[in-house]
Amino acid sequence: MSKHHRRLIRHCRVRPGTRVRLNQIDPVGTDLARFVLPGDAPLRARAEALLEHSRMELSIQQERLWASNTHSVLVILQGMDASGKDGTIKHVMSGVSPQGCEVHSFGVPSHEELSHNFLWRYSNRLPARGRIGLFNRSYYEEVLVVRVHPQLLATRFLPAPGKGGRVWRERFDDINAFERHLVRNGTVVLKFFLHLSRDEQRARLLKRIDTREKRWKFTSADVEERAYWDDYMSAYENMLSATSTRHAPWFIIPADDKHIARASVAATLSGTIASLPLHLPLASSVEHRRLAQLRAKLLRT
Ligand code: ATP
Ligand code: MG
């Protein structure tokens, strides 16, 4: 792992047990630019260079992941509307073979999904060994949107609906245990919170309305949910503080500048896979002899 990768990972990672205060974390990424993307070139060019380098690295690392067939990688992306989850997936993964990765986006759950435990629909979509799976939103919505709109809990058919505040603590415990189970079984779990400022969200939503080609992305719910901004920030702070663990850390990614956000996610992802103890299957001595015979045969035919 390069010096850049290490510094970036250290800078963005939420240390387990710390109390996250989002209003003390810069959504623009000025710090990140100073420490993680050093050099004299303009910031955008430096971010682009880091993204490009990380994309190439990721493509190589994905092949190692596939060949060793012992690990998988689960990438979770969370963030407010218009925080750039889709764009991040598109730009970070563009160099990776489509055979080696899969993206799952989760919207409002269906009746069938709500009839199961709250992790069910997500556990059905986990990446198999050798693959990188990306979740665009995830089971974390169950302690975010559902916490901000607690009336949604009534639609979850819980056995003890009167549990009140305890339900969030229990869900955090369940999520931590679930992720520990995944990690013990060879899945690397990386979680990215795209930290967007309220002003930048307004600018992006306005752009969705004002630009014809972007209008399809706009929904009235985007404007309505802005009224709950402070509640969301508080739910995010609780969630980040309770579920950033040594085995499955959260990374807070400054998202106001898309270039910095994409470069940071790509570098963290490629750097983490590069540091995994992946062992490529080596041919045995018998296979070596057989290989030599087959090679000679190939040369003759
Ligand atoms: P963008 O960031 O571009 O707006 P999006 O991720 O919001 O994209 P949408 O299809 O617009 O994609 O919205 C998905 C919606 O589904 C979100 O409002 C989210 O809160 C909601 N959702 C996701 N998971 C759950 C869940 N478990 N319970 C309730 N709502 C959920
Ligand atoms: Mg949306």
Burial grade of 264 (CB within 10 A; 0-12, 13-18, 19 or more): buried
pLDDT tens per residue across span 30-48: 878 777 777 888 888 889 9
Is 178 in contact with 119 (CB distance < 8 Å)?
yes
Instruction: Give yes or no for residue 82 CB within 6 A of ligand 1.
Output: yes
The token pair at 108 is 């409002």
Residue 280 is predicted with a pLDDT of 82
pLDDT tens per residue across span 51-88: 999 999 999 999 999 999 999 999 999 999 999 999 99
Please give the distance, rounded to the nearest whole angstrom, from the Cα atom of residue 139 to the centre of ligand 2: 16
Going by the DSSP 8-state scheme, the letter that residue 282 receives in this structure is: P
Instruction: Give yes or no for residue 107 CB within 6 A of ligand 1.
Output: yes
Q: Give the architecture (CATH level 2) of 3-300.
A: 3-Layer(aba) Sandwich (3.40)
Task: Map tokens 């663990």 to a residue.
Answer: 245
Is 64 in contact with 273 (CB distance < 8 Å)?
yes
Query: DSSP string covering 1-25, please?
Result: --HHHHHHHHHHB--TT----GGGS
Instruction: Give yes or no for residue 84 CB within 6 A of ligand 1.
Output: no
What is the number of the ligand closest to the CA of 81? 1
Instruction: Give yes or no for residue 146 CB within 6 A of ligand 1.
Output: yes
Is 93 in contact with 32 (CB distance < 8 Å)?
no
What residue ranges do the domains of the chain occupy?
3-300
Is 271 in contact with 58 (CB distance < 8 Å)?
no
Torsion angle in degrees (nearest 10) through CA of 93, 36, 26, 83: -10
Taking CA atoms only, the protein residue closest to ligand 1 atom 16 is: 107
- The residues that bridge with 132 in the sheet, in sequence order, are 73, 101
Residue 164 is predicted with a pLDDT of 67
Instruction: Give yes or no for residue 141 CB within 6 A of ligand 1.
Output: yes
Q: How far is CA 109 from CA 64, 97, 112, in A?
A: 35, 30, 8
Mutate to test the pocket of ligand 1, among 78, 81, 117 (most ligand atoms within 8 A of CB): 81
Is 281 in contact with 49 (CB distance < 8 Å)?
no
Residue 162 is predicted with a pLDDT of 59
Instruction: Give yes or no for residue 106 CB within 6 A of ligand 1.
Output: yes
Please give the distance, rounded to the nearest whole angstrom, from the Cα atom of residue 42 to the centre of ligand 1: 35
Is 158 in contact with 44 (CB distance < 8 Å)?
no
Residue 8 is predicted with a pLDDT of 84
Taking CA atoms only, the protein residue closest to ligand 1 atom 12 is: 107
What is the number of the ligand closest to the CA of 83? 1
Closest CA to 75 of 3, 29, 140, 4: 140
Instruction: Give yes or no for residue 206 CB within 6 A of ligand 1.
Output: no
Please give the distance, rounded to the nearest whole angstrom, from the Cα atom of residue 126 to the centre of ligand 1: 19
Q: DSSP strand E in the chain: where?
A: 72-79, 101-105, 132-136, 187-195, 250-254
Q: Give the strand pairing for 101-105 and 187-195.
A: unpaired
**How many Cβ atoms from other residues are within 10 Å of residue 201's Cβ?**
22
Task: Give every residue of the chain whose pLDDT is below 50, as ranges.
Answer: none
pTM of the model: 0.94
Residue 56 is predicted with a pLDDT of 96
Please give the distance, rounded to the nearest whole angstrom, from the Cα atom of residue 107 to the centre of ligand 2: 9
Residue 158 is predicted with a pLDDT of 87
Instruction: Give yes or no for residue 257 CB within 6 A of ligand 1.
Output: no
